[in-house]
Amino acid sequence: MGHLLLVESWVGAMSTLLPRGIREGGHRFSFVTRDLQHYLRAKPVGSGHPLLGADNLLTAETNDVPGLLTHLERLQPVLGFDAVLTSCDYYLAAAARTAERLGLPGAPPEAVERACAKDRTRLALREAGVPGPAFAIAETASGLVEAAEALGYPLVVKPVDLCGGMFVRKVESPGQLREAHAALQGFPVNARGQQRNPVVLLEELLTGPEVSVETVTFHGQTSVVGVTDKSVAGQPWFVETGHMFPAALDAATEVAVAETAVAAIEALGLDNIVGHTEIKLTPRGPRIVEVNPRPAGNQITELIRRVTGIDLAAVYAQLALGEKPDLHRVDTGAASAAISFLLPPKAGTISDISGSERLADPAVVDWVLKGAGHRAGAATSNNHYLGHVMVTSDRAGAARGKAESLVAGLDVRYAEVDA
């Protein structure tokens, strides 16, 4: 039985799935955080948060990586960690550095840092010849406007160090570009109290369907678990509205996107990771959107588990322990699984979400909706969902339409003060 150390976590699905994967693998874990209240506030109604069921709850300044390494090095002889990992993008590099300091298995820290910085990722992939969009990097509004003139509108503006689609938007003019830059300047510290990088990435607008390739890399060899399709909406924003696994692709396209993802992982020097690589299927072929050195979010790992029996959260723990990952597939009876998200029609206070009686459908395996009194934000990123519906189907490619139709039957009502 291994003892894993979790360095922070998201408070969404993976904060439940990863502890489950660790426990079901016969292991135990400790949890270190700078702010325990962050997780207490996020606990599911009527139950304790799974992260708080850790063998040890440790408090340390996780944003101070040198200090954190020293602190955990002192604890190691007492607690005996066998592995270090995190589900939160903002701490992937810290977890890799901790594993390195403690002499434990893990991903190469330099490669993780490279993958977690979107500007550094773009430069590394371009140097390696991995296809992606034309891009430019700048810090000032004037520098961005000058770069945009050279690239040509429309373009995509991206912060290099945020997640969940935050502040990623399409711009079609210098005015919109300056507005996007000003919004980023107004967000100098991320949600975990970390000072943000002021560098901004400007990219060619890629057209075509979007997919993600789910991979496992162990000792330099990458295995493709499968390809997930992605629904994106909300221009000028890019909000993920749903996913289906496996994606309904022809064999040639599936091979092309898998090869592109593997090439990107190799170019970044990533190893001993579960990877989630997002790709656009453009008229010119697959183009990399981004490479994430951690399991997919938005419950994509659950879609995969329901179709293949492979639990990528548990595989993530195996890799952290240095164990050969179990990628054995089983017949689950499901040929496809999909999740569709309910986006807020507008910002405001929710009074009711009607239509949930339709979710008593044999195809539905999970659903969650926000309750009355929830304050909805505008649908500008993946952080503002009002709920989701997950379904499975015994027919390939059928789950997505079913999930989308069920979500379309939900009606969001707002309190009169916000009407």
Output the CA–CA distances (angstroms, integers) from residue 191 to 11, 35, 60, 418, in the order listed. Answer: 12, 12, 17, 26
- Least confident piece of the model among 44-53, 114-123, 230-239, 373-382: 44-53
What is the predicted pLDDT for the residue at 243? 98
> 413 in helix, strand or coil?
strand
**Per-residue pLDDT tens over the stretch 127-171:** 999 999 999 999 999 999 999 999 999 999 999 999 989 999 999
Judge contact between 222 and 266, C-beta under 8 A: yes
Average pLDDT, the chain: 95
Domains of the chain listed by start with CATH number: 3-104 (3.40.50.20), 133-204 (3.30.1490.20), 206-332 (3.30.470.20), 337-419 (3.30.470.20)
pLDDT of residue 43: 63
CB-based contacts of 286, cutoff 8 Å, min separation 6: 131, 256, 257, 260, 279, 280
Which candidate, 23, 51, 381, places its Cα nearest to that of 233? 381
Q: pTM here?
A: 0.95
State the pLDDT at residue 46: 55
Task: Give the rounded percent of residues in the chain with a pLDDT score beyond 90.
Answer: 92
The mean pLDDT of 3-18, rounded to a whole number, is 94
Percent of the chain with pLDDT over 70: 98
Residue type for position 202: L
Instruction: State pLDDT tens for residues 28-52.
Output: 999 999 999 888 887 655 567 889 8
Cα 153 to the chain's mean position, in Å? 28
- Residue-wise pLDDT for 339-358, tens only, equals 999 999 999 999 999 999 99
Query: For the segment 272-318, what is each residue's pLDDT rounded down to a tens digit?
Result: 999 999 999 999 999 999 999 999 999 999 999 999 999 999 999 99
- Alpha-carbon Rg for the chain in angstroms: 21
Q: Kindly tell me the burial class for residue 373, based on how many C-beta atoms sit within 10 Å of its own C-beta (0-12, 13-18, 19 or more).
A: exposed
Q: Which residue has the higher pLDDT, 1 or 32?
A: 32
Question: Does 220 score more than 80 pLDDT?
Answer: yes
